[in-house]
Amino acid sequence: MNWIVNNTDQIGQLLVAHLGLAFLPVILSFVISIPIGWLANRFRLSRGVILTICGLLYAIPSLPLLIVLPIFTGQGIRTSTNLIVGLTIYGIALMVRSTADGLASVDPDIKQSATAMGYSGTSQFWRVELPLAGPVLLAGIRVVSVSTVSLTTVGAVLGIQSLGLLFTDGLQRGIQAEVWTGIVLTIVVALVFDLVIVQIGRLLMPWTRVTKASRRVRKTIATEEVTA
Amino acid sequence: MNLFADGLAWIFDPAHYGGQDGLDTRSLQHIGISLLVLAISSVIAIPLGYAIGHTGRGRAAVIAISGGVRALPTLGLLVVIGLIVGIGLTAPVIALVVLAVPSILAGAYSGFESVDRRTIDAARAVGMTEWQILFKVEVPLGLPLLIGGLRSASLQVIATATLADYVGAGGLGHFIFLGLKTNDYSQMLAGSVFVVLLALLSELIFGLLQRLVVPAGVTAGKSSHVRRRPVRSQAASG
């Protein structure tokens, strides 16, 4: 406890750095995954190819990815950009599947009705399919957010400022309190991100508050949460 | 691409094989740690997951645990256990088991969950005992999803075992950490490439296994194949 009191400044700095690093990848992966997820859902062939690539990307362990990435990006290993790009890649790898699953969960009858009412392809996507896929997207981005916040700490091994530095520093100096502080704060940040995302989801999708959401969508979300 | 060429040269340099610090020795160490962890976790998680799946009790707990563990920073877990039990193999093994158990648990449980209740009722109706239902119906039908759980556990274990050398446990992380300390990019890259290859190999093996274990005559192995709604909505069918 003493350690925390004596080091609040440093903890605060690392916390802010951590928020800054984790925030961007979550947003980026959500936005980038929409067109890719659409493409994955649109054609049978592209679905297989894209989802396989995403599966493989997600299979690459985080530390090795951060070391291999500079070859492609030209950024230094120890830069924030390197970490942000790496985390975004993981985010996309997870989120594309959710986006594709979400779009696939929209009832075909509803799509037919939308077409019958005169929606063009584009406006049908933005105004009918995407909002109805919303709950599945929400479930997906929650998973992305939690894993991004926790993965951000790995950057500390390379010397990138984040809460993970409390782990590396704590190990070197043998201070357990420091490491526990890092673990607890990381989980708290993950929870806060999660709460914010859920709130945004409630605001954007007021209809989901009425818990008569289609069973089909709910089931997709449930399997998504267990298998993701 | 010069960096990459240097890394490849490092990998193909015969001097980096054999002996305690050879790429081959470290790879075997890495695989050894991963298999050990998978074995321990399976012994813990499979019976528990089956019990939950068969009785349907404690489902909420499984979902909460598998979600919660995702928030747990693996590096922190590794370090804190390292500080408690000391540097060596024990700390990473405990940390990795903690990480692997939820995936396997979720796989075992959702495998049972994916079995159509009507199939189980039918099994009971033809006079199978509970144990027969368990081993002749639920286990074979749930196997693909169980393997899926093992697959993601294995992936996570191989990835995190890279960090294990941080607390002195060896494995392929050795090259990464040594490379980081001495600013030897080729060495880091070589270690990284090997870890990535191991991870992809594990995906390949478990992916094939997942297909092979689908019982003959069953196509509905994955949860996505489980019928989600009646053919026609209730209102239409009366």
Interface touch A170/B73, C-beta < 8 Å: no
Interface touch A171/B76, C-beta < 8 Å: no
Interface touch B67/A56, C-beta < 8 Å: no
Query: Which of B79, B194, B208 to mutate: most A Cβ within 10 Å?
Result: B79
Give the residue from chain A lying closest to B109, CA to CA.
A226
Q: How many residues does chain A have?
A: 228
Highest mean pLDDT among A78-92, A202-216, B204-218: A78-92
Q: Which of A179-188, A191-200, B3-12, B167-176 has the lowest mean pLDDT?
A: B3-12
Instruction: Identify residue B77 by its one-letter amino acid code.
Output: L
Structure confidence at residue B193 (pLDDT): 87
User: What residues of B are in contact with residue A70 (Cβ under 8 Å)?
Assistant: 3
Structure confidence at residue B176 (pLDDT): 85
Interface touch A168/B203, C-beta < 8 Å: no
Q: What is the mean pLDDT of residues A16-44?
A: 90
Residue B162 in contact with partner chain A when CB distance is under 8 A? yes
E strand or H helix that includes residue A116: helix A108-116
Give the number of other CB atoms < 10 A from CB of residue A10.
Answer: 13
Structure confidence at residue A224 (pLDDT): 67
**B216–chain A nearest CA distance, Å:** 24
Structure confidence at residue A141 (pLDDT): 92
User: What residues of A are in contact with residue B3 (Cβ under 8 Å)?
Assistant: 70-71
**Residue in the block written with tokens 């060495």:** B187
**Residue in the block written with tokens 């997820």:** A37
Instruction: Identify residue A171 by its one-letter amino acid code.
Output: L
Structure confidence at residue A209 (pLDDT): 66
Query: Which of A149, A166, A171 to mutate: most B Cβ within 10 Å?
Result: A171
Structure confidence at residue B126 (pLDDT): 92
Structure confidence at residue B230 (pLDDT): 46
Q: Mark the ranges of chain B whose per-residue pLDDT is less than 50.
A: 221-222, 225-227, 229-238
Question: What is the pLDDT confidence band of residue A225, given thresholds at 50, 70 and 90?
Answer: low
Structure confidence at residue A212 (pLDDT): 52
What is the crossing angle of helices A8-42 and A44-59, to 10°? 160
Interface touch B75/A156, C-beta < 8 Å: yes
Q: What is the mean pLDDT of residues A118-141?
A: 88
Phi and psi, residue A117, nearest 5°? -80, -5
* Distance (Å, whole) CA B46 – CA B219: 23
Give the number of other CB atoms < 10 A from CB of residue A200.
Answer: 12
Give the number of other CB atoms < 10 A from CB of residue B226.
Answer: 14
Exposure on the CB side of residue A73, measured as CA atoms within 13 A:
19
- CB–CB of B22/B11 below 8 Å? no
**A155–chain B nearest CA distance, Å:** 10
* Distance (Å, whole) CA B100 – CA B219: 28
Question: What is the pLDDT confidence band of residue A216, given thresholds at 50, 70 and 90?
Answer: low
Name the 3-class secondary structure at B185.
helix
Interface touch B196/A64, C-beta < 8 Å: yes
Exposure on the CB side of residue A171, measured as CA atoms within 13 A:
25
Mean pLDDT of chain A: 85
Residue B142 in contact with partner chain A when CB distance is under 8 A? no
Q: Which of A15-24, A215-224, B19-28 has the lowest mean pLDDT?
A: A215-224
Q: What does the buried/exposed string (b/e) look like for B126-160 if buried means 16 or more CB atoms within 10 Å of the residue's CB?
A: eebeeeebbeebbbbbbbbbbbbbbbbbbbbbbbb
* Distance (Å, whole) CA B100 – CA B94: 10
Instruction: Identify residue B93 by its one-letter amino acid code.
Output: V
